[in-house]
């Protein structure tokens, strides 16, 4: 079983016939497109680090099925150590890319499917778990990326899937055949979908008897007949298309990616079906995927947060104010918030437990507490980073101005000369380095890398209210009332 290198991963994408559209046009060479390539570089890092001896313990695992060494992104967690190493791996990758490395959704979907299919089979005598294990072995053996596809467009959210005016607003079965099913609909906001070899599709909400055609889960190749993707925009994304703009981009090597994935009557063979109308298990699959993914944010967002804190400290240093007590206090607060998030990710992992399938699940209450904090703390970290950087991070002239040789001054000064003179910092760093750190902060703080830190911290893995609902369900208020009664000696 051979794990791919980053370059081999990139080359494997070229072999796919993935259909990608952007700006109203089909993108023929999407692998090398300047707006898409940074997100591919991010995924490639999950492969590259797996080959470095110093990271092998975090980046790889032993398959419990084959006994072979696999990339941890294809691993089924076998104990709480696996759960903790997952979080530590995600922090490492966040530090190395300062963005979303996109492979977490597939890892979390694999683990949610593993335990859920086992329990469906226990109740109904189906063969989904064996189907899934064969699929998992293939993903491990070939070291492939799966896009965990859960989020439906949903339409009118006050209505169930079967009650929508347009039946396609939730992915559904439109035909059941002897050899498989035909599905129609879409999955939106799909992280890393274009960069994935396979799509692992799940229902998006709990369902009732009238929603059987929507209670489906399956895997299919990303370039299957009938699948196409429309690339999602990010703030300032066209800077990547400009010449001489690597500074202006902020993070020119890495980036996130989202897309609308359309299933236009896609055929799925029986061997890749993992749920087919068992509506009573839709909620379990959603809950388990969401729990794993909310745990993930205690790693990836913390790693990116480390970069935000480092960039803010550099900005303060370049501004010549790094010794001010107020600056030190802000950096302390940013660090405190970031490490609190990490603590939550480790806590829900440490309290994990074995499911009936043998795979391990996190503590669901603590995972939701983790993600609830993620919807808040990164915003405060960003606010403090912007405070330390100053207004320069949003008012700098373009990189081309710093490099311009157009003469404008009375003494022959060029636009470049003027920009480099008046945007100088403490004199110990170059004006270019000061501009680079300011643009990096802009990228991280103001949404130019939305699929990596700020906005995704709010909506990724479910909006804040979704976590509050789960916290209410898992919080055991009745049990806490009994504790209070016992202490107060209330017998009623």
User: 113, 119, 442, 456: which is the annotated catalytic residue?
Assistant: 456
User: 188, 220, 231, 258: which is the annotated catalytic residue?
Assistant: 258
355 is catalytic: no
User: 293, 318, 370, 386: which is the annotated catalytic residue?
Assistant: 293
User: 300, 344, 370, 419: which is the annotated catalytic residue?
Assistant: 300
User: 151, 191, 204, 448: which is the annotated catalytic residue?
Assistant: 191
Phi then psi dihedrals of residue 180, to 5 deg: 160, -160
456 is catalytic: yes
104 is catalytic: yes
Rounded to whole angstroms, how far apart are CA atoms 393 and 251? Answer: 14
351 is catalytic: no
300 is catalytic: yes
User: 33, 60, 80, 104: which is the annotated catalytic residue?
Assistant: 104
Cβ-Cβ contacts under 8 Å for 102 (sequence gap 6 or more): 39, 42, 43, 145, 191, 192, 195, 196, 256, 257
293 is catalytic: yes
5 is catalytic: no
100 is catalytic: yes
Q: Which residues are catalytic?
A: 100, 104, 191, 258, 293, 297, 300, 456
């Amino acid at each position: 079983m051979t794990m791919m290198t980053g370059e081999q991963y990139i080359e494997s994408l070229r072999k796919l016939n993935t259909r990608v559209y952007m700006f109203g046009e089909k993108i023929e060479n999407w692998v090398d497109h300047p707006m898409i390539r940074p997100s591919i570089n991010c995924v490639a890092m999950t492969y590259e680090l797996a080959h470095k001896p110093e990271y092998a313990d975090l980046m790889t695992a032993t398959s419990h099925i084959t006994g072979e060494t696999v990339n941890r992104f294809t691993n089924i967690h076998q104990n709480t150590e696996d759960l903790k190493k997952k979080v530590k791996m995600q922090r490492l990758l966040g530090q190395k890319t300062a963005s979303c490395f996109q492979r977490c959704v597939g890892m979390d979907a694999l683990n949610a499917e593993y335990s859920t299919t086992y329990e469906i089979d226990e109740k109904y005598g189906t063969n989904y778990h064996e189907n899934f294990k064969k699929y998992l072995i293939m993903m491990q053996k070939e070291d492939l990326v799966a896009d965990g596809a859960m989020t439906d467009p949903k339409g009118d959210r006050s209505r169930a899937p079967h009650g929508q005016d347009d039946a396609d607003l939730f992915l559904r079965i439109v035909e059941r055949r002897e050899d498989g099913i035909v599905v129609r609909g879409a999955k939106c906001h799909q992280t890393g979908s274009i960069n994935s070899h396979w799509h692992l599709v799940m229902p998006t909400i709990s369902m009732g008897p009238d929603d059987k055609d929507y209670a489906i889960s399956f895997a299919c190749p990303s370039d299957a007949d009938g699948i196409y993707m429309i690339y999602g925009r990010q703030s300032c994304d066209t800077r990547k298309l400009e010449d001489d703009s690597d500074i202006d981009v902020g993070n020119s090597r890495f980036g996130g990616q989202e897309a609308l994935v359309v299933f236009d009557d896609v055929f799925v063979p029986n061997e890749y079906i993992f749920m087919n109308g068992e509506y009573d298990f839709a909620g379990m699959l959603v809950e388990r995927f969401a729990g794993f993914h909310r745990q993930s944010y205690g790693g990836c967002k913390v790693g990116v947060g480390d970069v935000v804190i480092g960039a803010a400290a550099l900005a303060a240093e370049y501004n010549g104010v790094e010794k001010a007590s107020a600056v030190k206090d802000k950096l302390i607060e940013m660090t405190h918030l970031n490490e609190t998030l990490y603590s939550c990710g480790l806590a829900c992992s440490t309290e994990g437990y074995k499911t009936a399938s043998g795979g391990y699940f996190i503590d669901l209450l603590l995972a939701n507490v983790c993600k609830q904090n993620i919807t808040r703390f990164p915003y405060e970290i960003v606010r403090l980073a912007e405070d330390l950087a100053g207004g320069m991070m949003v008012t700098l002239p373009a990189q081309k101005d710093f490099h311009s040789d157009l003469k404008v001054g009375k003494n022959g000064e060029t636009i470049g000369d003027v920009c480099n003179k008046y945007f100088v910092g403490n004199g110990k760093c170059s004006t270019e380095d000061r501009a680079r750190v300011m643009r990096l902060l802009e990228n991280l703080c103001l949404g130019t890398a939305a699929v990596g830190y700020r906005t995704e911290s709010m909506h990724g893995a479910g909006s804040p209210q979704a976590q509050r609902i789960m916290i209410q369900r898992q919080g055991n208020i009745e049990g806490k009332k009994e504790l209070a009664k016992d202490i107060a000696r209330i017998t009623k």
